[in-house]
Amino acid sequence: MADQLTFVRRVLPAVPTCVDLPPRDRPQDRALPEVSARRLKVQRRTHDVGAVRLRPPPVRGCVVCLLLLAVPLAAVRPVVAQAGGPTIGIRDGNGHPFRTPAGSPFEPVHRLALLSATRDSLRDGIALADVGDRLGFWIRRDPDGDVEYAGAIHGGAFSRFDLGGPDQALIEVHYRIGVLLRARFGAVAARAELYHLSSHLGDEFLLETGARPISTSREGLELMLQGSPASGLTVYGGPGVLLRATPDFAPLSLRAGAAWESAPGAPARFHASVDYFGWAELGWEPAIAAEVGAGLARGTRVGLLLGFGPSRAEQFLRQSERLVGLSISHVR
């Protein structure tokens, strides 16, 4: 404040200065008084200037404005809310209809598994390293209504490594990419997937074994329904048909399964799932995948993985195998 008064005195040296204080408190030696910082009023009396007042900023008004701005920000809800009620068992982690069957070997999820694989009388140690995810979006969202539509694009790479070899070489990798149309009709969800699938043998595995790769490239359409008949229980199933394949495979297939999870509020989260896949090309021999374990965090779980029937490795689809081991997976 003293600097402001000094500036005013230099600009208007001939104009007498009057500080708005009681007469008994005015200094007689013309020195600037010590004034409260809350308010300082300086008046200049000239021919052209009536009064000049210097006031501090309105602090109370600023505080009120900030509070008014904070109220709507605090009231904002997440754009994607989790839908509850009887349909929660048929929704994925983002609220879209049709929950991803995370225990199925055909679904693109993140998975790392250390397994013992038995084929005929041979037993090998293998590792599965799967990387997969999906990008979903709403077409029509109505949590309180009877009909909802959503779309998605998903894809994954499913790799198998040889743990018994000196270099833990890549044995096989196959890829699946698909376009999904998902819907909910009341308490029933539906999914249509148009997908492409192809597979390759690892280079080191080819050199060491002299194996000859086979072509498994194909495109197909799969339709499935999903429901939740009881709390924590989800069942699904439906047919598939190949639209193009090299070589010509038998077109029809069938997939079905069930998954159970303990209540969200339970101290520990447990899960169990079983998935069945049958294909006319393989004489409808059932390929069974099962998993039981516990949840570590949202979407992440660890458990015992079991597999029976035709190999889940595309390059060895005509070979039967048994798998058992530990698995950790994550799905959004």
Which of 74, 98, 125 is the last residue before a domain boundary? 74
Least Cα distance to 109 among 156, 49, 162, 179 occurs for 156
Residue carrying the six token digits 């993140």: 110
Examine the domain organization and report whether 29 and 115 are in the same domain: no
Q: Which residues pair with 42 in a beta bridge?
A: 19
Cis amide linkage into residue 239, ω under 30° from 0? no
Q: Is the pLDDT confidence value at 167 over 70?
A: yes
Give the least confident one: 54-58, 187-191, 231-235: 54-58
In a domain, 64, yes or no: yes
Examine the domain organization and report whether 304 and 228 are in the same domain: yes
Q: Is the pLDDT confidence value at 123 over 60?
A: yes
- pLDDT tens-place string over residues 306-331: 999 999 999 999 999 999 999 999 99
Least Cα distance to 205 among 160, 156, 158, 157 occurs for 160
pLDDT of residue 298: 82
Q: Is the pLDDT confidence value at 217 over 50?
A: yes
In a domain, 79, yes or no: no
Q: Is the pLDDT confidence value at 121 over 90?
A: no
Give the least confident one: 27-31, 112-116, 169-173, 188-192: 27-31
In a domain, 266, yes or no: yes
Examine the domain organization and report whether 292 and 183 are in the same domain: yes
40-43: list long-range contacts, CB under 8 Å, 24+ apart.
40/1, 40/4, 42/4, 42/5, 42/8, 42/17, 43/18
pLDDT of residue 72: 36
Which of 45, 74, 103 is the last residue before a domain boundary? 74
Q: Is the pLDDT confidence value at 191 over 80?
A: yes
Which has the higher per-residue pLDDT, 121 or 36?
121
In a domain, 30, yes or no: yes
What is the number of helices (H) and of strands (E) in the chain? 3, 14
- pLDDT tens-place string over residues 12-53: 444 444 444 444 444 444 444 444 444 333 333 334 444 434
Which of 36, 54, 74 is the last residue before a domain boundary? 74
What is the CATH classification number for the domain harbouring 162?
Answer: 2.40.230.10
Q: What is the mean pLDDT of the chain?
A: 81
In a domain, 62, yes or no: yes
pLDDT of residue 66: 39
Contact 312, 287 (CB under 8 A): yes
Which has the higher per-residue pLDDT, 87 or 75?
87
Q: Is the pLDDT confidence value at 83 over 70?
A: no
What's CA 319's distance to the chain center, in Å?
35
In a domain, 254, yes or no: yes
Q: Is the pLDDT confidence value at 281 over 90?
A: yes
pLDDT of residue 53: 41
Give the least confident one: 50-64, 88-102, 167-181: 50-64
Total domains, the chain: 2
* Residue numbers of the domain that contains 31: 2-74
pLDDT of residue 3: 54
Q: What is the mean pLDDT of residues 200-214?
A: 92
Residues 6+ apart with CB under 8 A from 307: 105, 115, 287, 288, 289, 290, 321, 322, 323, 324
Examine the domain organization and report whether 97 and 65 are in the same domain: no
Residue 278 DSSP code: E
User: Other CB atoms closer than 10 Å to residue 36's CB: what's the count?
Assistant: 7
Examine the domain organization and report whether 109 and 67 are in the same domain: no
Examine the domain organization and report whether 240 and 215 are in the same domain: yes
In a domain, 80, yes or no: no
Q: Which residues pair with 233 in a beta bridge?
A: 230, 260
Examine the domain organization and report whether 46 and 112 are in the same domain: no
**What percentage of the chain carries pLDDT values higher than 90?**
63
Tell me the H-state helices in the chain.
2-11, 59-74, 203-209
Examine the domain organization and report whether 118 and 241 are in the same domain: yes
- pLDDT-based confidence at 85, cuts 50/70/90? low
Q: Give backbone dihedrals phi and psi of 94, rounded to 5 degrees, phi first.
A: -100, 5
Examine the domain organization and report whether 103 and 46 are in the same domain: no
pTM of the predicted protein model: 0.73
Examine the domain organization and report whether 108 and 202 are in the same domain: yes
Examine the domain organization and report whether 252 and 126 are in the same domain: yes
Give the least confident one: 47-51, 119-123, 206-210, 285-289: 47-51
Least Cα distance to 269 among 310, 299, 226, 291 occurs for 299
Examine the domain organization and report whether 66 and 109 are in the same domain: no
In a domain, 212, yes or no: yes
Distances (CA, A) of 296 to 164, 292, 293: 29, 13, 10
| CA 239/CA 72 separation, integer angstroms | 49
pLDDT of residue 86: 66
